[in-house]
Amino acid sequence: MKTMRLQGKIALITGASSGIGAATALAFAAEGARLILTARRTAKLAEVAARALAHGAAAVHSIEMDVRERHAVQHAIDALPPEWAEIDILVNNAGLSRGLEKLYTGRIDDWEEMIDTNVKGLLYVARAVVPGMVVRQHGHIVTLGSMAGEMVYPNGAVYCATKAAALAINDGLREDLLGTPVRVTAIDPGLAETEFSTVRFHGDAGRAANVYKGLAPLVAEDIADAILWAVTRPDHVNIARITLSTVHQANSLLVHREP
């Protein structure tokens, strides 16, 4: 019989309605986790919740939540039923990119959305969840970053800056938690074919498809597998950072495309 590595664990995953968040929910479900799934799109979130139960999740609690709304985030965590309140794993996944323009021609609304989601949202969720982990002396925070946080690429300055900030927040949190058993991990993927590019280009599916032309990108399940591996290490082992990419990518600037 398969050992359920997350049996009895409560995992909160933000941005769980699609992509990496949804794939992580299903990976955790197959290991028997109890899942708190949050997202803005309730219909899609309900679909993921149903699939997670079918994959073996012990239970699922879904919350409509926009990580950009500070008070709503805090209220959602404070209002969790007692049986869901002791979160063991936080996957701070909610994030997005908007636009691919030069900084001096970029849309300020796009900047605001990226900063509010990728930086401030990350902070709001961590601030709401981590204190309970410290009190209980147990927990693991996983921050979804990007290879883009290591090296800026043309026309992506603001998105890259938000992911550099996510890495700095992640590493600073690990330092702040030194002396507690709470673990902190950054997961930094390269090119991954999810809704990411479609969202970046405001629904332009053709332009989004060109991002992955001539190469075999990562898929959401690849990243979920890395997250699952990190959170199932022995309690004394902290995986500080995992950077993963397709073999067609060396870094944010260098990508090989087949003819």
Could you list the active site residues?
A: 159
Q: In angstroms, rounded to a whole number, what is the distance separating the alpha carbons of residues 166 and 173?
A: 10
Q: In angstroms, rounded to a whole number, what is the distance separating the alpha carbons of residues 40 and 195?
A: 15
Burial letters 10-20, b for 16+ CB under 10 A, else e: bbbbbbbbbbb
Instruction: List the 89-92 sheet strands across, edge first.
Output: 59-64, 34-39, 10-13, 89-92, 140-144, 183-189, 241-244
- For the record, the structure tokens of 48 come out as 């993921």
Report whether 15 contacts 39 (CB < 8 A): yes
Paired residues of 180 in beta bridges: 178
Q: In angstroms, rounded to a whole number, what is the distance separating the alpha carbons of residues 228 and 31?
A: 9
Nearest to 53 by CA among 32, 39, 74: 32
Report whether 227 contacts 187 (CB < 8 A): yes
Nearest to 34 by CA among 14, 51, 56, 15: 56
Report whether 94 contacts 121 (CB < 8 A): yes
